[in-house]
Each structure stands twice: as C-alpha cells, then as structure tokens.
C-alpha cells in the first residue's frame, strides 16, 4: 500500500473482520494489480472470502456454506 | 388505496418529462392524511394562526399499537419533516411552535414507550465499551441469509424490484440526514468516527457520490419520481416507523446512546443485503446507477460498520459509561423494527406482485 505524500498511514485491525486503512492512496493485491483508494477509510479483507478483493465485502460474517457431506 | 394513484400518475409522467431532473431539495408537498392524527397535524399546519389545533393527549392515547399504526407514524413523520427540509405551504416558524412541539412530544412519548416494550434486550446488559462492541457484533451477525434481499436477488420481477425501491425511498432519499443531529452532542473519538462515516455518506467531498443523490439518480433512470412526496403517501406504517425511530433517537440529546447504537446496527446489517440487492438489479438488467447505489454500500458499509461499532459506540461508552444500555437499546430497536418492516414488505411483494404497475 502507498500513502499520500507526507500523510500518515494508519492500520486498524478489526476483531474477526477486516483491516481498516486510513491515509492510503493505493493498494496492490496478491496478483500485483494496483487498486486506487477512493474513500477516506477502506476495509481490506483478511478472511479471503470477499468477492471484491482486496476490499472487505462483509463475507467474513456471512453464514458459511454447509460442509460437503 | 387512493394514494397509490399518485405514484402511478407520477411514474408515467416522470418517464417522459422528468426522468433526468436533479433530486429536488426544497420542501415537499404535504402528504395525504390517513386518519385522525395525521389529519389533525396536516390541517393544523395549514390553518391560519389562532385557528390551529393539533393532536391532543386523548387523541394520542387512543392509539393502541403506534409502531403499526400508519396514521400515527405519518403524523410524526410530518412533524419531523419540519426539522429537515420543511413542507410546502407551511409556515417555517412552526418548526419551533410550542403547541406543535407539545403535540410532537405526546406522539414521541407513546412511540418511545412502544419501542422499549417491543425490543428484547440482553441480560445481563453489557457495561464496558468492549462488552458493548462484542454485543453489537453478536446482535448483527447473520446466521441465515436475509429473506427480502435474497428474494430481490433471485426471484423478484422488474415491477416487484421497483416496488421495493419505492417503499424504501422514504429512507434512502434522506439517508444519513438524521445522524447529523447527533454530531454536536458527542465529542472526542466518537465524534471523529461519526464525522468520518457522515463524510463518506455525503460523498467524501464529491457531490456526485452523495448517497441520497445516487439513489435519486437510480430512481430517475428508472423513470420514477425523485421527490419524497409520492413515496410517503404510499409508505407502510413500518417503513415510516423505521425512519421515525431514527429521527427520534437522533433529535433527542437524551437518546444519543440509542442514536449511536442504532447507526451501528444499521451499518452492520447493510453490506450483505446490499450485495444481494445489487445482484438482483444486475439480473434484471436495471440501469447502472441502481447497481452502483447498492455496490457502493457493499464496500462503504463494511467500513462504516467497523467505524460505528468501535469508533462511535466504543468511544462513546468509554466517555460516558452510563450510555452502554442505551447503545444496545438503539441497536435492538433498529434490528427489530427493520426486520418487521422487511417481513411486511416481502409479504406484500409476494401478495401483490403487480402493485406498482397496475
Ligand atoms: S474480512 Fe470482511 S470479507 Fe474478508
Ligand atoms: Fe449510505
Ligand atoms: Fe453507511
């Protein structure tokens, strides 16, 4: 992740949920793609269940699919 | 219901001439009264000075179930609108008219009691900020897929989807306005957190990203009116109650804890439903602005949830520990009333699939 020039980058870990980022301008995902940050605070997925990676889409709270029998 | 004709008429009119207009920001026309209380409020607001009368104590006490009473909720909604954008043809000084405030107070007292009776609260009540945050997370975790959003995702017809939007417009066209009343009543980290959420709700510096306006744009692109008036006339009691309870909590400093908890519960139960609704809009090939509104909320509310629970509610309880129980009350009220409203709306969409078209 990249911070704005002279800006403070702040990371907050949320219990059982995402990581909040303040002050970032872009985030590089696991495949090397760069995602511009378009809101003052963004939530990065930590559970790898999001459909909108790298962002959290609250899938970490969704009921987990029943395990295969 | 005769008021249904208003929306139908406006729907056909706006499709050709008004479809692209900017969302109106001025006062809306007075809604159509539907009973003693709303009739009394509407005629009181338009009568000349000296001839005004408003709902009395006995009028209000006659209501047995205010949460489900459309007349009651409409009367309160109209009174609250005086504190927001005002009402066309109504003297602006009435916002602070003592007789009117007295009537509003009578309605609010009955409503607040009904809401407190309706909700189930945890026992024991959390007392510390971390207990409150844990309880808010527990209350808002979804064990199962929410029914109404799942219906919109997979089953709803085009007309049923539009009917859903029309019903919810009363909330979305005023999105986040009520919480602005909370801001001056809190301080420190709680204030910073609320301001951070509101900044995002109001477009984060970009007018084209203002959430209420994205919703209005979606309505316009569907050929639906962007003003509140026609939607209020058709809104169910529970839809009005869900908006009114938000205003009640935010307008009273005494209830600031409940206002914070209400927002946290709202934000924490928004992202997953919005993803399903966005899926439905895509399935029905609705305009991009409709999808945009819901997709925006998938990401934004995943952030807002965290900021509201720890930043707003956590810091508020740290600063004012006595508010812990009120935070939980506000969250419980949000979840209870919004679930009732969603269940009612889903039942209606199934029973009257062509309501908006016929
Ligand atoms: S952390 Fe929220 S979806 Fe993964
Ligand atoms: Fe929003
Ligand atoms: Fe939000």
Render pLDDT for B175-212 as a digit per residue (tens, 0 to 9).
999 999 999 999 999 999 999 999 999 999 999 999 99
Average pLDDT for chain A: 87
In a domain, B356, yes or no: no
Range of the structural domain that residue B100 is part of: 31-118
Residue A26 above 80 pLDDT? yes
Instruction: Indicate if B203 and B341 belong to the same structural domain.
Output: yes
Pairing of strands A10-13, A19-22: antiparallel
Task: Count CB neighbours of B322 within 10 A.
Answer: 9
Q: Residues with beta carbon < 5 A to ion ligand 2?
A: B 201, 211
Is the sign of the CA dihedral B207, B208, B210, B216 positive or negative?
positive
The mean per-residue pLDDT over the stretch A36-48 comes to: 94
User: Which residues, judged by CB distance below 6 Å to any ligand atom, belong to the binding site of ligand 1?
Assistant: A 17-18, 45-47, 49-50, 56-60
Residue A6 above 90 pLDDT? no
Residue B301 belongs to domain with CATH number: 1.20.910.10
In a domain, A69, yes or no: no
Angle at B336 between CA B109 and CA B153, to 5 degrees: 140
Mutate which of A11, A27, A42, A50 to test ligand 1's pocket (most atoms within 8 Å of Cβ)? A50
Instruction: Indicate if B171 and B96 belong to the same structural domain.
Output: no
In a domain, B124, yes or no: no
In a domain, A66, yes or no: no
Domain-ending residue, one of B118, B145, B160 = B118
Report which ligand 1 atom has the smallest distance to the Cα of A50: 3
pLDDT in tens, B311-322: 999 999 999 999
Instruction: Indicate if B141 and B62 belong to the same structural domain.
Output: no
Question: Is residue A40 less than 8 Å (CB to CB) from chain B?
Answer: yes
In a domain, A68, yes or no: no
Instruction: Indicate if B170 and B99 belong to the same structural domain.
Output: no
Instruction: Indicate if B79 and B49 belong to the same structural domain.
Output: yes
Least confident of A7-11, A33-37, B25-29, B68-72: B25-29
In a domain, A67, yes or no: no
CA of B25 to the centre of ligand 2 (A): 18
Instruction: Judge contact between B54 and B117, C-beta under 8 A.
Output: no
In a domain, A65, yes or no: no
Instruction: Indicate if B103 and B149 belong to the same structural domain.
Output: no
Instruction: Indicate if B254 and B324 belong to the same structural domain.
Output: yes
In a domain, B123, yes or no: no
In a domain, A24, yes or no: yes
pLDDT in tens, B326-357: 999 999 999 999 999 999 999 999 998 888 77
Position B316 scores a pLDDT of 98
In a domain, B12, yes or no: no
In a domain, B10, yes or no: no
In a domain, B97, yes or no: yes
Mutate which of A53, A55, A60 to test ligand 1's pocket (most atoms within 8 Å of Cβ)? A60
Work out how many domains chain B is built from and give that number. Answer: 2
Instruction: Indicate if B65 and B147 belong to the same structural domain.
Output: no
Predicted TM-score (pTM) of the model is 0.93
Domain-ending residue, one of B118, B143, B159 = B118
Question: Is residue B303 less than 8 Å (CB to CB) from chain A?
Answer: yes
Range of the structural domain that residue A13 is part of: 2-59
The mean per-residue pLDDT over the stretch B228-251 comes to: 96
Instruction: Indicate if B176 and B312 belong to the same structural domain.
Output: yes
**pLDDT band, residue B11 (cuts 50/70/90):** low
- Given the structure tokens 């969603």, which residue do they identify? B342
Secondary structure (3-state) at A27: strand
Instruction: Indicate if B105 and B217 belong to the same structural domain.
Output: no
In a domain, A8, yes or no: yes
Instruction: Indicate if B135 and B173 belong to the same structural domain.
Output: yes
In a domain, B241, yes or no: yes
Residue B330 in tokens: 């506000």
Which range, A3-12, B110-119, B133-142, is most confident?
B110-119
The mean per-residue pLDDT over the stretch A4-25 comes to: 88
Domain-ending residue, one of B96, B118, B140 = B118
In a domain, B9, yes or no: no
Q: What ipTM was predicted for this assembly?
A: 0.89
Work out how many domains chain A is built from and give that number. Answer: 1
Shortest CA gap B175–chain A (Å): 18
In a domain, A41, yes or no: yes
Q: How distant, in Å, are the alpha carbons of A60, B154, B305 from that of A47?
A: 6, 26, 16
Q: Give chain B's end-to-end CA distance (angstroms, integer).
A: 12
Among residues B256, B228, B247, the alpha carbon closest in space to that of B107 is found at B247
Among residues B249, B290, B288, the alpha carbon closest in space to that of B266 is found at B249
Instruction: Indicate if B172 and B311 belong to the same structural domain.
Output: yes
Residue A61 above 50 pLDDT? yes
């Amino acid at each position: 992740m990249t911070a704005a020039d002279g800006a403070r980058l702040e990371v907050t870990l949320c219990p059982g949920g995402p990581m909040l980022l303040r002050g970032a301008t872009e985030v590089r995902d696991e495949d090397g793609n760069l995602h511009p940050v378009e809101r003052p605070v963004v939530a990065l997925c930590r559970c790898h269940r999001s459909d909108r990676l790298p962002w959290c889409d609250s899938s970490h709270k969704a009921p987990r699919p029943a395990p295969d029998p | 219901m005769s008021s249904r004709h208003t929306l139908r008429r406006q729907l056909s009119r706006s499709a050709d001439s008004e479809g692209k207009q900017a969302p109106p920001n001025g006062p809306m026309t007075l809604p159509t009264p539907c009973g003693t209380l709303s009739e009394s409020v509407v005629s009181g607001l338009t009568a000349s000075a000296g001839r005004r009368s408003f709902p009395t104590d006995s009028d209000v006490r006659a209501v047995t179930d205010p949460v489900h009473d459309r007349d009651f909720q409409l009367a309160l909604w109209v009174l609250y609108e005086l504190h927001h954008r005002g009402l066309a043809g109504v003297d602006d000084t009435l916002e602070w008219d003592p007789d009117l405030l007295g009537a509003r107070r009578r309605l609010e007292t009955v409503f607040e009691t009904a809401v407190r009776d309706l909700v189930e609260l945890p026992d024991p009540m959390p007392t510390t900020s971390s207990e409150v945050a844990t309880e808010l997370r527990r209350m808002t975790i979804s064990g199962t897929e929410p029914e109404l959003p799942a219906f919109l995702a997979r089953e709803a017809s085009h007309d049923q989807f539009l009917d859903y939007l029309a019903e919810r417009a009363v909330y979305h066209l005023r999105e986040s306005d009520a919480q602005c009343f909370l801001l001056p009543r809190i301080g420190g980290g709680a204030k910073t957190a609320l301001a951070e959420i509101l900044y995002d709700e109001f477009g984060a510096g970009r007018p084209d990203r203002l959430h209420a306006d994205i919703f209005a744009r979606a309505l316009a692109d569907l050929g639906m009116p962007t003003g509140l008036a026609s939607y209020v006339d058709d809104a169910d009691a529970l839809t009005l109650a869900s908006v009114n309870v938000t205003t009640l909590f935010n307008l009273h400093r005494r209830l600031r804890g409940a206002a914070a908890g209400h927002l946290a519960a709202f934000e924490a139960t928004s992202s997953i439903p919005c993803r399903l609704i966005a899926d439905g809009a895509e399935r029905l090939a609705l305009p991009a602005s409709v999808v945009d509104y819901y997709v925006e909320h998938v990401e934004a509310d995943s952030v807002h949830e965290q900021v509201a629970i720890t930043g707003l509610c956590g810091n508020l309880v740290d600063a004012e520990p006595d508010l812990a129980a009120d935070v939980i009350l506000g969250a419980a009220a949000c979840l209870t009333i919004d679930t009732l409203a969603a269940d009612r709306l889903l039942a209606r969409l199934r029973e009257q699939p062509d309501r908006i078209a016929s």
